[in-house]
Amino acid sequence: MTTFPATMFPASAPVGKGADFLNIMAQLGNAYSNSFQSSTQEIWLSSFRIVQEHTARALVNASQECAAALARNAAEVGQRSFSDIVGANQQALTMFGSAFTNAVMAGAAPQNYLRLLAPA
């Protein structure tokens, strides 16, 4: 199906004065009409194919770029998360070390020596 219906001229030769001229003009009109119709059809089909190819290519490229961006984001978030966990672990060890040191120092205070040496 075409966008523009073909203009067709009479196929039978007109009768009367100047019929040969009119017949030739009708045949020329049909020749140009067929040529124009096939050219128009070809330009529409080739244009549609080009648009279709570029659209498909753009969708593939967009999905690949999206997947790459998601992978980069996952790697960055995972790295930050691991860094945060390491930082929290260091903070916990620092707090545990301070509490242990305070407990040992409190136990080693001079006022606690008598309790350590006293019978239980």
CA distance 72 to 80: 12
- 31 domain residue, yes or no: yes
- 14 domain residue, yes or no: no
- 71 domain residue, yes or no: yes
- 9 domain residue, yes or no: no
pLDDT beyond 70 at 19: no
- 43 domain residue, yes or no: yes
- The model's pTM is 0.47
User: What is the extent of the structural domain holding 103?
Assistant: 19-117
pLDDT digits (tens, 9 = 90+) for 85-105: 999 999 999 998 888 888 777
Q: Give the number of domains in the chain.
A: 1
Cβ(75)–Cβ(67) under 8 Å? no
- 109 domain residue, yes or no: yes
Give the per-residue pLDDT at 22: 75
pLDDT beyond 90 at 16: no
pLDDT digits (tens, 9 = 90+) for 20-37: 777 788 888 888 888 888
